[in-house]
C-alpha cells in the first residue's frame, strides 16, 4: 500500500476542489484524482417551476459565466416555444456571449494564471497573485483589468447589469440597442484589440520558458468537441457538434445538440460530485474528449476574423496535427479574446443591430427543449422537459467544465508523475499540479461561490497514515 498526497483546496480556480495523488511503494505517483467537493442541485430544485423562470434561475448557478447559462437556458426555452428570435436579437445575444467570453478569459489569464507565467511556478505563493503581477509588470495588470472591464461593460450596456442580467428572454431580448450605446462601445474596440495583440505578443515570447510545462500539462491524444458553424468557424452561439481526434481527423460531424444523449454518456465516480461525460461510441473512459478554447481552435478550418485568423494559423503551426498540450489553453484563450473583439465589432457595424424588433411572443408548443452554446470553458447544454402547464418535470445540465473532467484527471496524473517527488514536497511541485487544472480554467462556481481566501493544506502520509510532511499556505 502506498502513500497519499492531498492538495485541498486548489487555489486560483472558480470554486472548490481538491487533488489526491496516490503514491506506490517506491514513492512514485501511481494515480491522481480531481475531486469536486461541492454539490450542484439546480436540476432538482427547478422541478415544478414554470419554464419561463429558468433563464433567471439557472444563471444564478454562477457569478463568472451567468451569461452562458442565461443563453443556453433561453435557447432551451425558445425550443419549448418552437420559435426563432428576431434577427437583431440573435446578433445581440451573440455579442453578449462574446463579451462574456472576453471578461471570463481575461479573468482566467490575467488574474488567475498570469501570476504563474510572470512570477514563475516556484514563486512565493504569498506574492504569486495578480498583485504580484502589478508589482512586476503593471502594464500587463492594467491590460487585464481593462479587458475584463470592457467585457463587463458590454454586458452591462446591453443587459443592464454585469452579473445575473435579466435581459435575455425566451423569444429574444427585452430591449433593443440604441445607436448611442452602440457607438460608445464601438469607440472602445480599437484599444481593446491593441491590448489583446500586445498580450499575445508577450505571451508568445514567454513560451520558451515553459517547455517542461508544455510537455507535461495534460499533453496527450484525446478527442476534441465543440460547436461548428456551416462556414467552418467555431460556433459560439450556435452550430452543430463536431468531434475530431488528435490527428485532426473528423470523427463525427453535423450532430444536433438536441440529440446529445445519443453520443454523450455521463459516468459517475464515487470520489467526486462532477460527472464524467464521454463520447458514447468509444465507451468510458476511452471516449475522453476536451472542450473549450483549445478544442475550438483545433476543430475549425478557419478562425473567421482577420487578426485572429493570422494568430490561429501560427497557433496551429505549433503541431502538425491537433495542438495537444493543455498548457496552450492559455494561448487559445488569448486568440479567442482577439476573435471576440473583432467579431463584436462586425456585429455592431451591422445596421440590423439597432432594429427595434427584439422579441417575439409565443406560447408553449413543445414539451421538451435543448439549448446549447459555447461557454468560455466549452460546450454548455441545458435540457428541459415540461408538463402541459409549462412546469419543469426534468432538467439536465452538462456544464463545460464537466466535459473536461476525464482529461483533467489524466492531466494531473501526467504532471504529478513528472514534477512530484514524494520524499519532500515543495510549493513549486504542487503549484504545477494545480496549474494543470488552472489551464483548463474549470468553473466549479457552477455549484457554489468561493468564500474569501482559499487556503492550501497538503499532507504527505505514510502507508500507516502517519504524517511524513505537510505544507500550509
Partner 1 sequence: MTSIILACGNALRGDDGIGLYLAHQLYGLICDAETEIVCSHQWLPEQAEDLSRARAAVFIDASVAVPAGEIRVQPVPNECAKMAGVTTHALTPNRLMSLARELFGNAPERAFLVTIGASSFEHGSEFSEPVRKAIPAALRQIQDLLFEESVRVG
Residue 9 preceded by cis peptide, ω within 30: yes
Task: Tell me which of 132, 165, 371, 402 binds partner 1, using CB under 8 A.
Answer: 132
How many chain residues bind partner 1 (CB under 8 A)? 26
Task: Tell me which of 367, 454, 461, 468 binds partner 1, using CB under 8 A.
Answer: 454
Least Cβ distance, residue 13 to partner 1 (angstroms): 11
Contact 379, 264 (CB under 8 A): no
Apex 76 CA angle, 101 and 277, nearest 5: 70
- Facing residues of 369 across strands? 384
Q: Name which of 204 and 473 has its Cβ closer to partner 1.
A: 473
Task: Tell me which of 127, 349, 387, 470 binds partner 1, using CB under 8 A.
Answer: 127
Strand ordering across the sheet containing 250-255: 250-255, 240-244, 223-228, 289-290
Task: Tell me which of 83, 145, 258, 282 binds partner 1, using CB under 8 A.
Answer: 145
Q: Is 120 in the site for partner 1 (CB under 8 A)?
A: no
**By CB under 8 A, which span of 147-155, 222-230, 396-404, 457-465 interacts with partner 1?**
147-155
Burial 359-389 (b: 16+ CB within 10 A, else e): beeeebeeeebbbbbbbbbbbbbbbbbbeee
Whose CA is closest to 276, among 404, 454, 432, 395? 404
Q: How far is CA 454 from CA 14, 15, 123, 473, in A?
A: 11, 10, 18, 9
Task: Tell me which of 251, 307, 391, 450 binds partner 1, using CB under 8 A.
Answer: 450
**By CB under 8 A, which span of 92-100, 138-146, 239-247, 299-307 interacts with partner 1?**
138-146
Q: Name which of 149 and 246 has its Cβ closer to partner 1.
A: 149
Q: Name which of 215 and 449 has its Cβ closer to partner 1.
A: 449
Give the span between the Cα atoms of 94 and 53, in whole angstroms: 21
Least Cβ distance, residue 129 to partner 1 (angstroms): 7
Contact 457, 471 (CB under 8 A): yes
Q: Name which of 33 and 448 has its Cβ closer to partner 1.
A: 448
Q: How far is CA 397 from CA 172, 183, 302, 392, 394, in A?
A: 22, 37, 29, 13, 10
Q: Is 146 in the site for partner 1 (CB under 8 A)?
A: yes
Task: Tell me which of 453, 464, 466, 467 binds partner 1, using CB under 8 A.
Answer: 453
Q: Is 472 in the site for partner 1 (CB under 8 A)?
A: no
Task: Tell me which of 63, 120, 202, 390 binds partner 1, using CB under 8 A.
Answer: 63
Could you tell me how far CA 218 lies from the centroid of its own chain? 16
Least Cβ distance, residue 80 to partner 1 (angstroms): 27
Q: Name which of 135 and 302 has its Cβ closer to partner 1.
A: 135
Q: Is 188 in the site for partner 1 (CB under 8 A)?
A: no
Q: Is 15 in the site for partner 1 (CB under 8 A)?
A: no
Q: Is 333 in the site for partner 1 (CB under 8 A)?
A: no
Q: Is 47 in the site for partner 1 (CB under 8 A)?
A: no
Q: Is 367 in the site for partner 1 (CB under 8 A)?
A: no
Touching partner 1, residues 154-183 (CB under 8 A): 162-163
Residues written for the chain: 473
Q: Is 457 in the site for partner 1 (CB under 8 A)?
A: no
Residues near partner 1, by CB under 8 A = 63, 107, 111-112, 126-127, 129-132, 134-135, 138, 141-142, 145-146, 148-149, 152, 162-163, 450, 452-454
Amino acid at each position: 500500500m502506498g502513500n497519499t498526497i492531498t492538495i485541498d483546496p486548489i487555489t486560483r480556480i472558480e470554486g472548490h476542489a481538491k487533488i489526491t495523488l496516490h503514491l506506490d511503494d517506491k514513492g512514485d505517483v501511481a494515480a491522481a484524482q480531481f475531486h469536486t467537493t461541492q454539490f450542484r442541485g439546480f436540476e432538482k430544485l427547478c422541478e415544478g417551476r414554470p419554464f419561463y423562470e429558468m433563464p433567471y434561475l439557472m444563471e444564478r448557478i454562477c457569478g463568472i459565466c451567468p451569461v452562458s447559462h442565461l443563453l443556453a437556458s433561453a435557447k432551451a426555452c425558445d425550443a419549448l416555444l418552437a420559435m426563432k428570435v428576431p434577427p437583431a436579437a440573435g446578433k445581440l445575444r451573440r455579442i453578449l456571449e462574446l463579451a462574456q467570453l472576453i471578461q471570463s478569459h481575461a479573468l482566467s489569464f490575467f488574474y488567475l494564471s498570469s501570476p504563474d507565467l510572470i512570477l514563475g511556478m516556484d514563486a512565493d505563493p504569498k506574492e504569486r497573485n495578480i498583485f504580484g503581477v502589478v508589482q512586476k509588470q503593471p502594464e500587463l495588470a492594467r491590460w487585464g483589468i481593462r479587458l475584463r472591464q470592457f467585457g463587463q461593460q458590454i454586458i452591462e450596456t446591453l443587459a443592464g447589469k454585469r452579473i445575473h442580467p435579466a435581459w435575455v428572454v425566451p423569444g429574444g431580448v427585452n430591449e433593443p440597442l440604441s445607436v448611442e450605446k452602440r457607438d460608445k462601445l464601438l469607440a472602445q474596440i480599437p484599444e481593446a484589440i491593441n491590448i489583446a495583440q500586445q498580450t499575445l505578443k508577450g505571451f508568445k515570447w514567454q513560451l520558451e520558458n515553459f517547455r517542461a510545462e508544455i510537455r507535461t500539462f495534460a499533453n496527450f491524444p484525446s478527442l476534441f468537441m465543440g460547436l461548428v458553424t456551416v462556414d467552418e468557424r467555431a460556433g459560439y452561439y450556435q452550430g452543430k457538434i463536431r468531434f475530431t481526434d488528435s490527428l485532426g481527423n473528423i470523427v463525427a460531424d453535423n450532430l444536433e445538440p438536441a440529440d446529445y444523449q445519443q453520443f454523450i454518456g455521463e459516468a459517475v465516480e464515487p470520489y467526486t460530485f462532477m460527472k464524467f461525460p464521454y463520447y458514447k461510441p468509444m465507451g468510458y473512459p476511452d471516449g475522453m474528449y476536451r472542450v473549450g478554447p483549445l478544442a475550438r481552435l483545433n476543430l475549425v478550418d478557419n478562425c473567421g476574423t482577420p487578426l485572429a485568423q493570422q494568430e490561429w494559423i501560427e497557433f496551429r503551426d505549433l503541431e502538425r496535427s491537433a495542438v495537444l498540450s493543455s498548457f496552450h489553453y492559455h494561448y487559445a484563450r488569448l486568440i479567442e479574446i482577439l476573435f471576440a473583439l473583432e467579431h463584436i465589432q462586425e456585429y455592431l457595424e451591422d445596421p440590423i443591430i439597432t432594429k427595434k424588433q427584439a422579441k417575439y411572443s409565443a406560447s408553449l408548443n413543445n414539451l421538451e427543449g435543448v439549448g446549447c452554446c459555447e461557454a468560455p470553458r466549452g460546450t454548455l447544454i441545458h435540457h428541459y422537459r415540461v408538463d402541459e402547464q409549462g412546469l419543469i418535470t426534468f432538467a439536465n445540465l452538462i456544464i463545460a467544465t464537466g466535459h473536461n473532467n476525464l482529461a483533467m484527471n489524466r492531466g494531473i496524473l501526467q504532471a504529478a508523475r513528472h514534477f512530484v517527488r514524494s520524499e519532500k514536497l515543495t510549493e513549486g511541485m504542487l503549484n504545477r499540479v494545480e496549474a494543470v487544472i488552472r489551464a483548463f480554467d474549470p468553473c466549479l462556481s457552477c455549484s457554489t461561490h468561493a468564500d474569501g481566501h482559499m487556503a492550501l493544506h497538503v499532507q504527505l502520509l505514510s502507508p500507516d497514515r502517519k504524517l511524513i510532511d505537510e505544507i500550509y499556505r
